[in-house]
Amino acid sequence: MVRRSAIPLIVGTFLLRVNTGAGGIVLGLFLARLAIHAGHHITAIQVGLLAVVYYATELTLAPFMGALSDRWGRRLFMVLGPLLGVLGMLLIPLTPMASPLPFLLTLQVLAGLATAMITPSVLGYLADLTRRNEQGRMRVMGFYELATSGGIAAGVVVGGFAWDRFGSWAFALLALFYALVTLCMFLAPRVTQVTEHTGPALLMRRYLAILHKPRLFIFIPAWICISALLGIWVSSQLPFLLSRPGRMGDQLLMGIMSGPGGGGRLSLVLGSYVLFFGLSLLFWACFLAHLPRLMMMLTSVAGLYVGVMALWGMNHRLGGDLAPGIWIPVLLLGIFAESSFAPSALAYLADLTEESAMDRGLLMGLYSVFLGLGQLLGNGLAGLFAHRLGFDGLICLTAILGLVALLSLLTLLRLEQHYAAKARETGEASVAERSHIASF
């Protein structure tokens, strides 16, 4: 029943992320044409500024939009957010030729606001939907993550073809996708949401108390560090190192995709990675949803180090001519284990909202904050490490972030076991026990 009732939201999330992936491609191509045909000198720094404004808006507003959804109802934000996306896409082709940057920055703020409204309200809704089904919660959060990653990957492909086929009319296609997201959110069944209308001062005190909960603060470093891996491995840094001509020392993977046909080979490798990661995530969500949350997150960190070992072996050709046959299966094993983090972390965050059912939107809005901060951290550090150490720099940075995440999760495990032992002594069922968080 949970899976059937969550289908409209999962489909809507997929279409939303298709727009995320396609929007970046189409906007970049639009700006390139604007610079050529309108005679404007649009720099890479200005293009980067648009992305910074978008993510900064989402990071800043997501908790506030989540908090408002707790008070005014999630469905309002789930429907209104995509409508703002429709408006933004329809306005982009109207960019003034004389001074395009202020107009485009304003539209990026609008797009960031739309995402900040949608993500926490949808996640809060899914937490409400699965409050009586802990195993179903893990499954639904797994499908949500699959829709997110799969939608972005599909959007990157759709964006290029849409621009080639429709030109500036591609923005109308993206507006249509946003309209379909609105329809999906509207079709989501109604669920019981606990709301409370209190004064601003009391509300702020309650929010500060929630944000100071030990479970949440101990968990934050792990989520940020794992999210930073997206900034390292799912960004322009990896294609740059693989495709840049020239080697650095004995690092085999530096420039391995350079030369004729390198772009096609790179697309094939990265596409295969996304496909395998998505299938692994689907497996965790469907067949291993009963496992304890923290056990899955620790498994993910173990998989991270398996992947680090495999990448190091491949980059330095350990094993000679047999290196690919040895290390590629090890790398796939590591990727499979790593994919368990996102659905288990989302389910854990939803479990924490059981203690504060009136503030689910605020807590789930932190998902956007953790993800965005991690990606910014990963992108920034990846450039520094890669500049000094090449591909080895990305591997070393991954190992360092994995260590921080491991320490955070082990501390959290000790805390959960303490809570579980205390609950057993008092004979009361804690949230951790009901959610199987510390069931080792």
- Write out the DSSP string of 225-236: HHHHHHHHHSSS
- Say which range, 52-61, 170-179, 309-318, 423-432, has the weakest mean pLDDT: 423-432
Q: What is the pLDDT of residue 76?
A: 86
200 domain-assigned? no
Q: What is the mean pLDDT of residues 77-99?
A: 88
- Which residues, including other chains, have CB under 8 Å from residue 414's CB and lie 6 or more apart? none
165 and 223 fall within a common domain: no
* Residue 133's pLDDT band (cuts 50, 70, 90): low
Q: Report whether pLDDT(3) > 50.
A: no
183 and 216 fall within a common domain: no
Q: What is the pLDDT of residue 409?
A: 93
* Residue 150's pLDDT band (cuts 50, 70, 90): confident
310 domain-assigned? yes
Beta-strand ranges (E) seen in 92-206 are: none
Structure tokens belonging to residue 110: 């609008």
Average pLDDT, the chain: 78
379 and 273 fall within a common domain: yes
| Residue 86: its H or E element | helix 74-91
Q: Which residue would you say has higher pLDDT here, 3 or 395?
A: 395
CA distances 440 to 80, 294, 298, Å, are: 43, 9, 12
Q: Report whether pLDDT(438) > 50.
A: no
Q: Give the torsion through C-alpha atoms of 370, 203, 351, 64, to 10 deg.
A: -30
171 domain-assigned? yes
Residue 45: CB atoms within 10 Å: 8
382 domain-assigned? yes
134 and 261 fall within a common domain: no
| Residue 252: its H or E element | none
- Give the CATH number for residue 95: 1.20.1250.20
181 and 282 fall within a common domain: no
Q: What is the pLDDT of residue 410?
A: 94
Q: Report whether pLDDT(405) > 60.
A: yes
- Say which range, 275-289, 348-362, 424-438, has the weakest mean pLDDT: 424-438
172 and 259 fall within a common domain: no
State the sign of the Cα–Cα–Cα–Cα dihedral 305, 310, 313, 316: negative
pLDDT in tens, 326-358: 899 999 999 999 988 888 887 787 777 666 656
Q: Which residue would you say has higher pLDDT here, 38 or 180?
A: 180
For the chain, the straight-line distance linking the first and the last C-alpha, in angstroms and rounded, comes to 29
Domain edge (last residue) among 155, 187, 219: 187
412 and 292 fall within a common domain: yes
Note down the domain range covering 73: 2-187
Q: What is the mean pLDDT of residues 378-405?
A: 87
222 and 130 fall within a common domain: no
Q: What is the pLDDT of residue 439?
A: 41
Q: What is the pLDDT of residue 202?
A: 62
Phi, then psi, of 289 in degrees rounded to 5: -70, -15
408 domain-assigned? yes
Q: Give dist(CA 140, CA 127) in Å, integer.
A: 9
254 and 399 fall within a common domain: yes
Q: Which of 19-33, 294-308, 378-392 has the highest mean pLDDT?
A: 294-308
User: Which residue carries 């005014």 as its tokens?
Assistant: 72
Q: Report whether pLDDT(45) > 80.
A: no
Q: Give dist(CA 197, CA 356) in Å, integer.
A: 14
* Residue 189's pLDDT band (cuts 50, 70, 90): confident
Q: What is the pLDDT of residue 210?
A: 64
Q: Which residue would you say has higher pLDDT here, 157 or 358?
A: 157
196 domain-assigned? no
Q: What is the pLDDT of residue 47?
A: 67
- Say which range, 79-93, 128-142, 157-171, has the weakest mean pLDDT: 128-142
Our count of domains for the chain comes to 2
Phi, then psi, of 318 in degrees rounded to 5: -70, 125
Q: What is the pLDDT of residue 299?
A: 92
Q: Which residue would you say has higher pLDDT here, 215 or 231?
A: 215
Q: What is the pLDDT of residue 436?
A: 45
Closest CA to 182 of 112, 81, 68, 109: 81
pTM (2 decimals)? 0.69
149 and 257 fall within a common domain: no
Q: What is the pLDDT of residue 432?
A: 44
Q: What is the pLDDT of residue 267?
A: 59
161 and 252 fall within a common domain: no
